[in-house]
Amino acid sequence: MIAGGSGMGGCLVRRANTQSLGPGTGQQRVIGRIRRGRLCRICLLRHRYRNLGIHRFPFHPMRRYRIAPHLRKVSRYGAMALSWSMDKIGPIARSAEDCAMVFNAIRGPDGLDQTVVDLPFNYTPDIDLSTFRIGYLTSASEQDTLNRKQNQAVLKTLQKLGAQWIPVEIPRLPGYPLALILTAEAAAAFDELTRSNRDTLLVRQIRNTWPNVFRAARFIPAVEYLQANRVRYRLIQEMRKVFQTVDVYVTPSFGPNLLLTNLTGHPCVAVPNGFDATGHPTSLSFIGDVYDEATVLAVAKKFQDATDFHKKHPPLFYPEKQSLSVDRAQPGQPMGCGTIPTPVSAGTTS
């Protein structure tokens, strides 16, 4: 099982190639062999889904489709826990329908994770969008100024397919302060790592990286953790009201909705929807009602069938004409990391 937390200091690898996700984003992506080939098709089929965008970074640079189902739909047995009440397992695949097929294969009780429920998955790809109530998260879309062009294009595409838009807003409750639920549960999950002082072996030890998050979370009062979960219950009730007016709503992948749906458990399908000014891929998310992964996947497939973003692939990290094999690294260099020097032509000296 792959964990996405290395971006916050949970990785022991000290060298890796990274590229900025764009000016002002403060985000980077790791470039390596995971970006292409069999690993993308196999390991990433059951990738961890977590909080604050970790679940979308592996999918984001690869232009793949990603579903994060309700946490009680797929067994989490064998996965490295971070937040027991938020962790979800779901596939990353080349298309929305591939996600549906893999999700159908891995969903349901396995006798090992006792929280999983046995509910039907009535996926039907041949739908008429005019019969669905599709919401549009207006405030989040207005705030996403960097990707406004791509977001508006999605709306126009779905309107051509018959969709009628319903403006919606998510509950205005203190979402981000509720992140202490995740940090408290994460500190408990990695309690042994912290108390054994092995957290000092992790590379990044700056503010807001996992080692320091785990340490600081030990000072969260139990009263505040319980109070946060009481507010979380209110969020869930408010979201029920939202889905009394819509079947699915569309929102930028990053923003206030991200933490909210982690707290409430609503399924999400993240889809590629274009490229920004620097050529990096962008995405949008479709959010469905609790346990209704079938509808949100069907709507995502309709959008995919009308676009070709999922067919656009990045070039290989190593040029094909490079004499040094991708599977070989320089001495003292981690596999797939670092810059391969330009081969020296015959008859010349370095």
Residue 299 is given by DSSP the state: H
Cβ(78)–Cβ(111) under 8 Å?
no
Cα torsion 296, 302, 306, 310 to 10°: value is 50
Residue with tokens 């429920």: 117
CA distance 70 to 133: 21
The per-residue pLDDT for 195 is 95
Would you say 17 and 339 are in contact if contact means Cβ atoms under 8 Å apart? yes
Angstrom distance (rounded) from CA 158 to CA 47: 28
Q: Which domains does the chain have, with CATH numbers?
A: 5-171+239-311 (3.90.1300.10)
Distance CA 198, CA 215 (A): 12
Note the pLDDT of residue 113. 92
If phi over 0 gives left and psi between -120 and 50 gives alpha, with beta otherwise, what is residue 53?
A: left
Q: What is the pTM of this model?
A: 0.75
Q: Evaluate whether 180 touches 224 at the Cβ level (below 8 Å).
A: yes
Q: Return the pLDDT at 145.
A: 66
| pLDDT tens, residue order, the chain (350 aa) | 444 444 454 444 444 444 444 433 334 443 333 333 333 333 444 444 444 544 444 445 445 677 888 888 999 998 888 898 998 899 999 899 999 999 999 999 999 999 999 999 999 999 999 999 999 887 776 677 677 788 888 888 888 999 888 988 888 777 668 889 999 999 999 999 999 999 999 999 998 899 999 999 999 999 999 999 999 999 999 999 999 999 999 988 887 788 888 899 999 999 988 888 888 888 889 999 999 999 999 999 999 999 988 887 766 654 554 443 333 334 333 333 333 333 333 334 43
**What is the full DSSP assignment across 42-53?**
HGGGGEEE-STT
